[in-house]
Structure 1
Amino acid sequence: MSFTTEQQPGVCEQAPAATKGFTLNHSMLRVKDPKVSLDFYTRVLGMRLLRKLDFPEMSFSLYFLAQAEEAAMAPQDVGERTAWTFAQRGILELTHNWGTENDTEFKYHDGNAKPQGFGHICISVPDLDAAVRWFDENGVTYVKRPEQGKMKDVAFIKDADGYWIEIVEPARLAKLGRPA
Structure 2
Amino acid sequence: MRLLHTMLRVRDLEASLSFYTDVLGMRLLRKKDYPGGKFTLAFVGYQDEKDGAAIELTHNWDVDDYELGNAYGHIAIAVDDVCAACERIKAAGGKVTREAGPMKESTTVLAFVEDPDGYKIELLTEKE
Task: Give the structure-1-normalised TM-score.
Answer: 0.63
1:50–1:149 distance in 2 versus 1, CA, 3 Å: closer
CA distance in 2, matches of 1:158, 1:148: 19
CA distance in 1, matches of 2:25, 2:2: 23
- SS, match of residue 44 in structure 2: strand
- The partner residue of 1:118 within 67, 72, 76 is 72
- SS, match of residue 134 in structure 1: helix
Would you say how many aligned residue pairs link Structure 1 and Structure 2? 126
CA deviations 1:8-44 (Å, max 9, x no partner) are xxxxxxxxxxxxxx11100000000111000000001
Conserved 8 A contact 1:110-1:164: no
- SS, match of residue 14 in structure 2: helix
Match of residue 76 from structure 1: none
Computing the radius of gyration from Cα coordinates, the structure with the larger value is: 1
Alignment of 1:22-41 (within 5 A): 22-41=1-20
CA distance in 2, matches of 1:149, 1:123: 15
- SS, match of residue 100 in structure 2: coil
1:88–1:108 distance in 2 versus 1, CA, 3 Å: farther
Letter in 2 for 1:89: G
Conserved 8 A contact 1:25-1:88: no
Letter in 1 for 2:73: G
CA distance in 2, matches of 1:138, 1:145: 16
Structure scoring higher RCO (CA < 8 A, sep ≥ 6) equals 2
Match of residue 119 from structure 2: 163
Structure 2 gap segments, 5+ residues each: none
More strand by share: 2
CA distance in 1, matches of 2:53, 2:18: 19
Match of residue 53 from structure 2: 90
1:66–1:120 distance in 2 versus 1, CA, 3 Å: same
CA distance in 1, matches of 2:36, 2:60: 12
Task: Give the structure-2-normalised TM-score.
Answer: 0.87
Conserved 8 A contact 1:157-1:164: yes
Query: What RMSD in Å do the two structures reach over aligned CA positions?
Result: 2.0
Match of residue 26 from structure 2: 47
Identity of counterpart residues, as a percentage? 41
